[in-house]
Amino acid sequence: MTELARKALLPAGLQDVLPGTAAREAEIREKLMASLAHAGYDRVKTPLVEFEESLLEGAAPELSTQTFRLMDPESRRMMGVRSDMTPQVGRIAATRLVDAPRPLRLSYSGDVLRIKGSHLRPERQFAQVGAELIGVSSAAADTEIVLLALEALDRINVPFVSVDLNLPTLPVRLFDAFGVKGDEREALIEALERRDVAALKGIDGKVTDVLVALLEAAGPAKTALPKLKKLELPLGASDELYRLIDVAERVLASGLDAALTIDPVEMAGFRYQTGVSFTLFAKNVRGEIGRGGRYRAGGTAGEAATGMSLYMDSILRGLPDGDAISRVYLPLGTPQREARQLRLDGHYTVAALEGAAEAKTEDGARIEARRMGCDFIYLGGQVMPLSA
Amino acid sequence: MTELARKALLPAGLQDVLPGTAAREAEIREKLMASLAHAGYDRVKTPLVEFEESLLEGAAPELSTQTFRLMDPESRRMMGVRSDMTPQVGRIAATRLVDAPRPLRLSYSGDVLRIKGSHLRPERQFAQVGAELIGVSSAAADTEIVLLALEALDRINVPFVSVDLNLPTLPVRLFDAFGVKGDEREALIEALERRDVAALKGIDGKVTDVLVALLEAAGPAKTALPKLKKLELPLGASDELYRLIDVAERVLASGLDAALTIDPVEMAGFRYQTGVSFTLFAKNVRGEIGRGGRYRAGGTAGEAATGMSLYMDSILRGLPDGDAISRVYLPLGTPQREARQLRLDGHYTVAALEGAAEAKTEDGARIEARRMGCDFIYLGGQVMPLSA
């Protein structure tokens, strides 16, 4: 490895975001946050690290093994680096904002750090934008969060968004209802995760027929809804499925321009959801661009809540590049007041600098302007195209 | 401690940023970043953690004891959590952007984490906005960075900004020139840091007269400049002082509206600076709101560079609160299309939600709108003041 390569080396899954991309990420992030703010979601900012117990309280057990720990020399207690922001927002709702009126609508953006990347998401640091709707357990709340995500993605013109509505708790509910335990349960979960109908059918039991019917019903909402409505499920499971159907019909009725699919037995990627959930996709982007769903804010005894997170890196991959910036070269001797006025007028300037490659003639200044990537030059009080 | 207080407890120096403040911080941050972008400074984003060696290469030794360490289970190497972003930007300049034309202008924003807060800055996590000008060692470059900081602060209307120009390397340069070593040097540095003229005079030696003269010259630029110009310093020290005077005169000539003071022997708070440096203050804000100065990007053998960082928390303390947002309550049954259009038109909406406190009558909706902090209500296709 060369000295240059050695210095540039970052830990796996971590990266420098370079000019152009970093500005684009910030622009898109703030547009998404603005969309959430306009829908009544108030921005909060959570700390990068906090005490391990509070960080992991109410979080999925899986998150604990994904969280880096730090010793705090001040308190001599262990802290964790945030690997998800939803539990932190839940903590804020349950403590500092315990007296704020419900429904409580909060939004956030920030980077999280994970110990290990996944196959589809090798990044270990990634930026999220998210929203939480806390204190309401209704189908209307489930629907609001789905539509909130779609409206935000629409604002930044992500093309061809689709929503997959899921019910990750349904299989477990069915196993309980049919008394399926132990190895058999594990085998069924594995077959479901592989979407392996043949394997499901090879396992004996009443629950199998239901699971196969649910798997086979999955697909675009228009075809899935009639099939799902015909299914007869045990009490409890049936209620949950009808909630899913209710939310799907509300989303369809909203008139928002996105494809809606339903896959009631999809469980992958849901860690703490307790009800109607969803995954967001965009054409030409591998893997999901966001997900969300119902959970308890602040742990199993916490308030009813639903929320969603959007993944900035995936979203940026689904968007065309931003417009290139046109820059105006300011030759040596440009008065500071004129330079400031140009910037106030919206120009992006690049000032010639004594001590750098200096150009004392107009031709020299044009050459220097090109070298610095400018399209325009400021001459005689005018912004002129460089090609002229 | 109550259960609520226990859950809300964060490690010392870390905090939740609540609604209102978090949005204000983001707004101000993006305005500052826009000001830097318009002056040709390209945004980059650095990782939260990276390998210890690369994170601390070229950084001040002091930074090492301020940096949290993490073991990376993937590489089994130690990583550090960023406690400053300047060395990271220097690394990017020296590696990924080694072939980009110079002068290289980069900007960044992000949160850093420190092991211990200081007396004036008890926060252990704080947000920075900064810029680096890499590849030029001239007084024009020093001046550009000072003016860049002032222009950015002017854009967000920080009232009564002042700049203190410093030369933190000057005392050391003088000690070397006068052969001052060991205990005597330590005693002089201590006296300088306390600005204790009596103590300085009590220490014998030629250097004392020079240091006292420099201390006594410190003050507003208009009075300090003539005094500093009269001083006779040893070669090397004299060149540095004349650079400081040159930069001061250029800043004064720029016509920017900020008070300029000069304090050539101020050393506190400068960790890696190698030349003309500065500290930024605002009226009614305790401590500095930013600082900057000349250094070597990527370590002692690196490129000539100068840069500055602005401290978001201090800046926010120096600004009036942002304008309060007016919210429009959308009663139950408001069509989604109309709600979206209101938001597209710039309104901030708060939708009634089935399952929350439901209001079926207009009077009920008005009560609910007030409870949710709205100033307007959407009735009959119109946004109406709530008080009407």
Which among A103, A105, A356 has the least Cβ separation from residue B136? A356
Which among A138, A327, A372 has the least Cβ separation from residue B355? A138
Query: Is A40 in contact with B350 (Cβ distance < 8 A)?
Result: yes
Three-state helix/strand/coil letters over chain B? CCHHHHHHCCCCCCCCECCCHHHHHHHHHHHHHHHHHHCCCEECECCCEEEHHHHHCCCCHHHHCCCCEEEECCCCEEEEECCCCHHHHHHHHHCCCCCCCCCEEEEEEEEEECCCCCCCCCCCEEEEEEEEEECCCCHHHHHHHHHHHHHHHHHCCCCCEEEEEECCCHHHHHHHHHCCCHHHHHHHHHHHHCCCHHHHHHCCCHHHHHHHHHHHHCEEHHHHHHHHHHCCCCCCHHHHHHHHHHHHHHHHHCCCCCEEEEECCCCCCCCCCCCCEEEEEECCCCCCCEEEEEEEECCCCCEEEEEEEEEHHHHHHCCCCCCCCCEEEECCCCCHHHHHHHHHCCCEEEECCECECCCCCHHHHHHHHHHCCCCEEEECCEEEECCC
Pull the structure tokens for residue B152: 């950015």
* B215 within 8 A of B195, measured Cβ to Cβ: yes
Query: Is A349 in contact with B38 (Cβ distance < 8 A)?
Result: yes
Q: Of A149-153, A351-355, B115-119, which gets the smallest average pLDDT?
A: B115-119
Is residue B312 marked as binding?
no
Helix (H) or strand (E) holding A80: strand A77-81
Which among B16, B337, B348 has the least Cβ separation from residue A40? B348
Res. A388: pLDDT tops 70: no
Name all domains of chain A by residue range, CATH numbers in brackets.
10-157+294-305 (3.30.930.10), 327-385 (no CATH)
Query: Is B349 in contact with A39 (Cβ distance < 8 A)?
Result: yes
Q: Taking CB atoms and an 8 Å cutoff, what residues of chain B touch A345?
A: none
Q: Taking CB atoms and an 8 Å cutoff, what residues of chain B touch A144?
A: 351, 353
Q: What is the DSSP string of A279-323?
A: EEEETT-SS-SEEEEEEEETSTTSEEEEEEEEEHHHHHHTSPPPP
Interface probe, candidates A6, A15, A16, A341, chain B, greatest B C-beta count within 10 A: A16
Which among B43, B70, B336 has the least Cβ separation from residue A70? B70
Interface probe, candidates A4, A133, A147, A343, chain B, greatest B C-beta count within 10 A: A343
Which among B22, B141, B343 has the least Cβ separation from residue A43? B22
Q: Which SS3 state, helix, strand or coil, does residue A78 take? A: strand
Q: Taking CB atoms and an 8 Å cutoff, what residues of chain A touch B32?
A: none
Is residue B88 marked as binding?
no
Query: Is B355 in contact with A141 (Cβ distance < 8 A)?
Result: yes
Distance from CA of A302 to the nearest CA of B (A): 13
Is residue B273 marked as binding?
no
Q: What is the pLDDT of residues A93-129, one digit of tens each?
A: 999 999 999 999 999 999 999 999 988 788 999 999 9
- Average pLDDT value for residue range A353-376: 91
* A356 confidence band (pLDDT: 50, 70, 90): confident
Is residue A86 marked as binding?
yes
Res. A224: pLDDT tops 80: yes
Q: What is the pLDDT of residues B189-221, one digit of tens each?
A: 999 989 999 999 888 888 999 999 999 999 999
Q: What is the pLDDT of residue B1?
A: 63
Interface probe, candidates A128, A354, A367, chain B, greatest B C-beta count within 10 A: A354
Per the model's pLDDT, the better-predicted residue between A256 and A10 turns out to be A10
Q: What is the pLDDT of residue A256?
A: 76
pLDDT in tens, chain B (388 residues): 677 777 779 999 999 999 999 999 999 999 999 999 999 999 999 999 999 988 888 667 778 899 999 999 999 999 999 999 999 999 999 999 999 999 999 999 999 999 999 887 889 999 999 999 999 999 999 999 999 999 999 999 998 999 999 999 999 999 999 999 999 999 999 999 899 999 998 888 889 999 999 999 999 999 999 999 999 999 889 999 999 999 999 999 998 778 999 999 988 777 778 899 999 999 989 889 999 999 999 777 889 999 999 999 999 999 988 888 999 999 999 999 999 999 999 999 999 999 887 778 999 999 999 999 999 999 999 999 998 5
Q: What is the pLDDT of residue B123?
A: 92
Distance from CA of B48 to the nearest CA of A (A): 8
Query: Is B38 in contact with A354 (Cβ distance < 8 A)?
Result: no
Which among B103, B336, B348 has the least Cβ separation from residue A38? B348
Query: Is A30 in contact with B35 (Cβ distance < 8 A)?
Result: no
Q: What is the pLDDT of residues A18-71, one digit of tens each?
A: 999 999 999 999 999 999 999 999 999 999 999 998 888 866 777 889 999 999
A and B: number of Cβ contacts within 8 A? 268
* A1 confidence band (pLDDT: 50, 70, 90): low
Closest chain A CA to residue B12: A74
Q: What is the ipTM of this complex?
A: 0.95
Query: Is A11 in contact with B351 (Cβ distance < 8 A)?
Result: no
Query: Is A136 in contact with B343 (Cβ distance < 8 A)?
Result: no
Q: What is the pLDDT of residue A343?
A: 98
Q: What is the pLDDT of residue B236?
A: 86
Q: Which residues pair with B385 in a beta bridge?
A: B376
Q: What is the pLDDT of residue A270?
A: 75
